[in-house]
Structures are given as C-alpha cells and as structure tokens.
Amino acid sequence: MSGYTAPRIFVRGVYFDNVTLEEASERLRTSVREGRRETVFTPNSEIVQACIDEPALYGVINAASLVIPDGIGVVKAARILGTPLKGKVAGVDLGRCVLDFSAQDGVPVYLLGGKPGVAETAAERLCGEYAGLNVVGTRDGYFAKTGAETDEVVRAVNESGAQVLFVCLGAPAQEKWIVENRDRMPSVRVFLGLGGSLDVYAGTVKRAPKLFIRLGLEWFYRLLKEPRRIGRMMRLPKFYFGTWIYKLTKK
C-alpha cells in the first residue's frame, strides 16, 4: 500500500492521526494522484468537548479519513493521557499546503464557505500567490444545509469538476455537511473542513502574531479579537480539567 499512514491516537473519543503538517500534506497529495478519497477534519478541543457533550457528534468527526489536531488543547490532552501527538497542525496551514500541490499538479479546487464575496476574494488572492492554481468555483456558505439549496451547491461542485473541495462553514456544521453529502460528489478526492480559513486567505481575518502561535496562545488572540467566542471557549477549561479527571479516574 502506498501513501502515508500513521498510528491514530485516541483523545477523549476522537481518533487523531499522529502526523506532521508535511506528512499530512504528502498523504493527501498521494491520495489525489492515486484516486483515493479523503475527508479531512481539523478538530480543536472545543469540538472534542462538543462530542463529549453531544455524543452523536463522534460518529460525524470519526467518519473522516484524516483527523488532525488543530489546537494546543488537544496536544496537551494527548500528553496528559500518556499518548503524545507530534504537535498541533493548523488546518489553515494544511489548506495552504493543499493549494500549493494542487497548483503544481493541476488539481482543480472549489472554495465553499464564508460570507458573500469572501470565497471570491480568497480565490483572487490565492491565484496571485500560487502560480497555476485552478479555482473552478466559489460559493458563499450561507445556504440551507439540507434540501434544495444544498442540492444546488452539490450540483455546482459536480459541474465544476473539482477534485479538492474546501468546506468552510464553521464547526460542526461543515463536518456534518461533508459526511451527509460526500457520496453525491464522486469527482471530489479531498474534502477539507476548514472553519474560518477562507477569511484568513481573503485577508478579512488575521491570524495571531507568530509569538502567540509559538507560545500556544493563538486561542487567546482569537478571544481578544472576537469576544463573542467566549461562550464556546468556556469548553476549553472544561475539556482540560475533564481530561485530568478522565485520566485519574479511568480504570
């Protein structure tokens, strides 16, 4: 068998692939070349805690073929549980690696998600950055996630001939949408659930300064910039302390 496969690490019910950014990207590149289908999710600890709170979500998140830890909380939890991961792999960075090899290999890409205009702006900027990038379609993410509007989006993706589909609708809506609809988009080889990445590529949202990223404080920067996230971020301490309790009490 070719392609990179890494052991999976179990963190509070979610199976993470223990890969670096380069390994994840190489595996996806090989899969596209060899015609294998991949579904990539990038949960952070908020999403793992959401699974703990609403167990039906496990079935959705664990239905991916590649799950990368996009959060320092998940990396810390894996360490606490005695099964360390190689490190955080930011979904927004993996998205860039996929764009890079898609441009080099002539793989058609579709960008779905964000407010009206964001995907188009992202496409323009990305085409300027990655020579040869072939963006075959864009669409904002404000459509009904089931029924006729979703059918129309699926049709547009199919007609575009995209082989890589960025789905940036926020978590866990994007993960549910991918799992519910991926079988209807047979030409797509890589589905990526990438949250707010199109906003970053379009330049409407800035990533944290490098120092914050290096210190593992990207979450804190996001909280400063988007205080409305405080409610969902309360899942972070719940997840962290819950992981200690889980470790100390499990048989």
Say if residues 192 and 165 touch (Cβ distance below 8 Å). Answer: yes
Q: Considering the complex, what minimum distance in angstroms separates the CB of residue 168 from ligand UDP?
A: 5
Q: Structure tokens of 76?
A: 């810390």
Instruction: Name the closest residue to ligand UDP (Cβ).
Output: 141
Cα-atom radius of gyration of the chain, to the nearest Å? Answer: 18
Classify residue 142 by its DSSP letter. Answer: -
Q: Considering the complex, what minimum distance in angstroms separates the CB of residue 82 from ligand UDP?
A: 28
User: Please, which residues have CB within 8 angstroms of residue 100's CB and are 6 or more apart in sequence?
Assistant: 25, 130
From 79, 115, 155, 214, residue interacting with ligand UDP (rule: CB under 6 A): 115
Residues 125-144 that bind ligand UDP (CB under 6 A): 141-142
- Cite the beta strand spans of 170-244 per DSSP E: 190-193
From 196, 219, 233, 239, residue interacting with ligand UDP (rule: CB under 6 A): 196
Q: How many residues bind ligand UDP (CB under 6 A)?
A: 13
Q: Does 169 bind ligand UDP (CB under 6 A)?
A: yes
From 69, 73, 95, 195, residue interacting with ligand UDP (rule: CB under 6 A): 195
CA neighbor of 47 nearest in space, from 194, 206, 226, 189: 194
CB of 95 or CB of 141, closer to ligand UDP: 141
Alpha helical stretches, state H, 54-116: 56-61, 72-80, 91-105
State the residues that interact with ligand UDP by CB under 6 A: 113-115, 141-142, 168-171, 195-196, 198-199
